[in-house]
Structure 1
Amino acid sequence: MTDRALAVVRAGALTTVQDLGRPGHAHLGVPRSGALDAPAAALVNRLVGNAPEAAVLETTLVGCAVRPRSAVTVAVGGAPCRVTVDGRPAAWGAPVRVPAGALLDIGAAICGVRSYVAVSGGITVEPVLGSRSTDLLSGLGPPPLTDGTVLPLGRPTRPHARVDVAPQPAPPTELVLRVTLGPRDDWFTPEAVRVLTSRPYSVSPASNRIGLRTDGPALERALTRELPSEGVVLGAVQVPPDGQPVVFLADHPTTGGYPVIAVVRTADLAAAAQAAPGTPIRFVAVRRR
């Protein structure tokens, strides 16, 4: 096996390979997938000299630990965390040189949820439908990492950035989600629409890459008949029978049978990826463009 590889020593709670995702296949029932905090993934790729489409690691809450078989440059961003190389502190948010055989440990998130690890040359697992992303809903792409997994790496093509630390937005202490009402807001009572956009919610611990689940006041439907399955998009706010809104994230299903009361602006979804359980949520209605 080539020495351009990364051995997983500690996989963590949920560490996956992610890139820009596989948009354009919804008609086949294939979700978009890709990094939930896309700006963080793009930044760490730039820091190590990778192309924007290079695959990175996305960790969840408790980080991971890996050992490169050859010297590599890495960058860790997204949720702030402690980074060490063979037990010695290393920079977060900046390029770090990791010798062959050294242990790179990405610690638990200090705040936020998901950290991103870029490695010079990118992770070059076999692409599926044009993407190397792990999709938890459909099962496409590489499975979530386990201890002992070995990931192939590409060859660096550009030098890494020369920065001490790259500024990144802090994880939200309050998640503000701008929403456009519809397409099925008329399936809810006027009071339910008012409640969604005026009452506080919080991030549920049951949230995952498929959807950000919420805890808060239940939304009452005006129409109780069955809704035929219809297409749903990234950021759709679907309301299941318990009345608790669910914001669809990257691994969301491409169709759904519960009404969508609103759709979150795409620009707000990166913050949603970093909102820890219990984070307050405010839905703010904005006009259709």
Structure 2
Amino acid sequence: MTDRALSVVRAGALTTVQDLGRLGHAHLGVPRSGALDGPAAALVNRLVGNAPEAAVLETTLSGCTVRPRSAVTVAVGGAPCQVAVDGRPVAWGAPVHVPAGALLDVGAAISGVRSYVGVSGGVAVDPVLGSRSTDLLSGLGPPPLTDGAVLPLGPPARPHARVDVAPQPAPPAELVLRVTLGPRDDWFTPQSVRAFTAHPYRVSPASNRIGLRTEGPALERALPRELPSEGVVLGAVQVPPDGRPVVFLADHPTTGGYPVIAVVRAADLPAAAQAVPGTAVRFVAVGRR
């Protein structure tokens, strides 16, 4: 192990390594995985001078604490939080120098759910099927961080960005998800299809990297029979037997046997990654398949 490494002092509730994900393996049953808030992960990489495909840390609600073995540049984005180096407050959303052996503390999310930690050189764990991402569904990639773990870092690619702070979107007070209806909206009663886009839902505490679960009106099926398993995509809105829609996120299964009433526009999914439990959700139909 070289001195280009991070020692994990406090892993937090759920901190994982994420990059752009494992694209192109769905036919093998492998989810895409990758950072749930892609724009936030891309921004922290730009701020520290990394290539877009470099791996970052994705924290969940409670942040994490790490100690670099050599001097690094870091940037924290995504969910706003307090950031400190050896107990001294430093900037969120900007490149920060962290000396060798110093303690970088990424605090709990003030709003939103997931913060992203970019480190110069990127997290250089061994890739699996072309990606360093942790996949909670299949178990591919590195396991979620634990206290005492050591993560190798790559060599710095280029100088960090020269900015004081980079603007980032605030976590949503209301999550508006534009959807294309189908392919299985005909499996639901006309009243349920109208209710799906007319009535508000809320983000369930049971949400995770696999799917954003909702609480609200149950959608009634028009067809009672079982649906043979078929391929599902990122953003698919599947409706399980309890009738509450589930929006598939990065670690979603590649096939499913419950009907998909709609598919969320890809541009709206990063906001879903930052929607805390209880956030109002509105599905807005913008077309149909």
Tell me the amino acid that sits aligned with residue 158 of structure 1. R
Partner in structure 2 of residue 158 of structure 1: 158
Aligned residue number for residue 204 of structure 1: 204
> Which amino acid letter does the alignment assign opposite residue 18 of structure 1?
Q
- Listed one character per residue, the Cα deviations across residues 183-241 of structure 1 (whole Å, up to 9, x for unaligned) are 00000000000000000100000000000000000000000101000000000000000
Q: Does residue 84 of structure 2 align to residue 90 of structure 1?
A: no
Taking only the aligned residue pairs, the percentage that are identical comes to 88
Q: Is the 8 A contact 2:15 2:59 kept in 1?
A: yes
Secondary structure, aligned partner of 1:286: strand
SS state at 2:198 partner: coil
Is residue 124 of structure 1 aligned with residue 124 of structure 2? yes
Matches within 5 A, 1:71-90: 71-90=71-90
1:68 equivalent in structure 2: 68
Task: Output one character per residue of 1:87-125: Cα deviation in whole Å (capped at 9) or x when no partner.
Answer: 000100000000000000000000000000000000000
- Does the CA contact (< 8 Å) of 2:179 and 2:286 recur in 1? yes
Q: Deviations over 1:122-180 (max 9, x none)?
A: 00000000000000000000000000000000010200000000000000000000000
Report what 1:112 is aligned to. 112
Opposite residue 114 of structure 2, the aligned amino acid is: R
Counterpart amino acid of residue 254 in structure 1: T
2:175 equivalent to 1:179: no
CA distance in 2, matches of 1:125, 1:193: 45
Mapped to 2, the partners of 1:10 and 1:157 lie a distance apart of 27
Amino acid at match of 1:21: G
Contact 2:175 2:275 in 1 (8 A): yes
> 1:162-241 to 2 correspondence within 5 Å?
162-241=162-241
Aligned to 1:102: 102
Determine the structure 2 residue equivalent to 1:254.
254
Structure 2 distance, partners of 1:42, 1:288, is 31
Q: State the one-letter code of the partner of 1:29.
A: G
8 Å CA contact retained: 2:85, 2:104:
yes
Deviation at 1:65, TM superposition (A): 0.2
Residue 23 of structure 1 deviates from its aligned partner by: 1.0
RMSD: 0.6
Q: CA deviation at 1:250?
A: 0.1
Please tell me the residue identity of whatever aligns with 1:144: P
TM-score between the two structures when normalised by the length of structure 1: 0.99
Deviation at 1:47, TM superposition (A): 0.1
Determine the C-alpha separation between the residues in 2 that align with 1:170 and 1:17. Answer: 23
Shift of 1:288: 4.5
In 1, Cα distance between the equivalents of 2:176 and 2:228? 31
Q: Which amino acid aligns with 1:160?
A: H
Alignment of 1:21-32 (within 5 A): 21-32=21-32
2:265 matched residue in structure 1: 265
Counterpart amino acid of residue 285 in structure 1: A
Q: Quick one: which amino acid aligns to residue 76 of structure 2?
A: V
Query: What SS is found at the alignment partner of 1:269?
Result: helix
User: What is the aligned partner in structure 1 of residue 278 from structure 2?
Assistant: 278
Q: TM-score scaled to structure 2, two decimals?
A: 0.99
Task: Give the letter for the 1:76 counterpart.
Answer: V
Q: Residue deviations 1:54-96, cap 9 Å, x none?
A: 0000000000000000000000000000000000001000000
Alpha-carbon distance in 2 for matches of 1:90, 1:288: 47
Shift of 1:278: 0.2
Runs of 4+ in structure 1 off by over 4 angstroms are none
Q: Report the alpha carbon displacement of residue 287 of structure 1 after superposing the two structures with TM.
A: 1.8
Separation in structure 1 between the aligned mates of residue 23 and residue 218 of structure 2, nearest angstrom: 32
